[in-house]
Amino acid sequence: MYYVYVIQSGLDDSFYIGKTSNLEERLLFHNTPELNKGITKRKIPWKYFFILEIGDLRLAGKIENHIKRMKSRKYIQDLKKYPEITQKLIKKYS
């Protein structure tokens, strides 16, 4: 099982979008400065804002890229607010 996730920074409420097969390990990575050498290191602490379960890695990648291309805070908030958006994304990229 794979997941497309959006985490939100407790520092400035910004978002980061990613995909993983292990939600627990991934959040631990984002919140551990010794492990995290990437962009999310500067905005610790992170918490999950949105999680979408996907059965296929390729599909998860397509949906992750779609959300990133939108570059919209409102779109990310709407993903959480309106579950039908995620169903349309799954259908579109399947």
pLDDT digits (tens, 9 = 90+) for 30-86: 999 999 999 999 999 999 999 999 999 999 999 999 999 999 999 999 999 999 999
pLDDT digits (tens, 9 = 90+) for 8-22: 999 999 999 999 999
- The full set of domains in the chain, from first to last, is 2-93 (3.40.1440)
Confidence label for 88 from pLDDT (cuts 50, 70 and 90):
very high
User: Burial code of 6-41, b = ≥16 C-beta within 10 A, e = fewer?
Assistant: bbbbeeeeebbbbbbeeeeebbebbbeeeebeeebe
Looking at every residue in the chain, the average pLDDT score rounds to: 97
Helices (H) and strands (E) counted in the chain, each on its own, are 4, 3
Confidence label for 1 from pLDDT (cuts 50, 70 and 90):
very high
